[in-house]
Structure 1
């Protein structure tokens, strides 16, 4: 099963010009618990996927909303010459097809 099959929403966006946030939300409590508890979105896995030092990544599980929020530094400041996504809206792409154990 892929992450997109369990999640009702997977999105990314800026959290300021230097930080990116990724939200994964679930309609089903079982799907949320499965992803939350298996470490798929752990700092270790996110560091590997995005090439960001693990200690710079935070993961927040918010049980009442069945949501997981991942925050990390952007690879380039929003709007800078090196930036390829000024709004941060495409950074969730690598997560969509992740296999969920």
Structure 2
């Protein structure tokens, strides 16, 4: 099964304000975007398992014109709070790179 790293030319994570984290997955072409952008493998359960995200806050926004999907979730504590370990969330994407993807039928 292909991984995120296999089908994306660029993956990044960043803060999206003090209460949200967002990930941008730029697929390496239209074909892989259509096959994997809405894959169940990238669903709320993954973000709960990897980041402790509340599944009800996980939102995905496919952007076909850019062959990318933006996936965001609500932070469990505000940016810059007492338990903050990565204030800008710039390193969070690394956990996604080896996630295996199921193709959308």
Q: Same fold (TM over 0.5)?
A: yes
* Partners of 1:12 and 1:22 within 8 A in 2: yes
After superposition, the Cα gap between the structure-2 partners of 1:93 and 1:29, relative to the gap in structure 1 and judged at 3 Å, is same
- Structure 1 residue 68 and structure 2 residue 100: aligned? no
After superposition, the Cα gap between the structure-2 partners of 1:27 and 1:57, relative to the gap in structure 1 and judged at 3 Å, is same
Partner of 1:47: 48
**Runs of at least 5 residues in structure 2 that lack an aligned partner in the other structure:** none
Q: What CA distance in whole angstroms lies between the structure 2 residues aligned with 1:92 and 1:34?
A: 20
- Structure 1 residue 95 and structure 2 residue 63: aligned? no
RMSD: 1.5
Which string of whole-angstrom CA distances, capped at 9 and with x for unpartnered residues, describes residues 35-69 of structure 1? 12432212233233322221111111111111111
Q: How do 1:1-101 and structure 2 match up within 5 A? A: 1-101=2-102
Q: What CA distance in whole angstroms lies between the structure 2 residues aligned with 1:37 and 1:57?
A: 13
Matched positions, count? 101
* Partners of 2:24 and 2:71 within 8 A in 1: yes
Secondary structure of the residue aligned to 1:13 is: strand
- Structure 1 stretches (4+) deviating beyond 4 angstroms? none
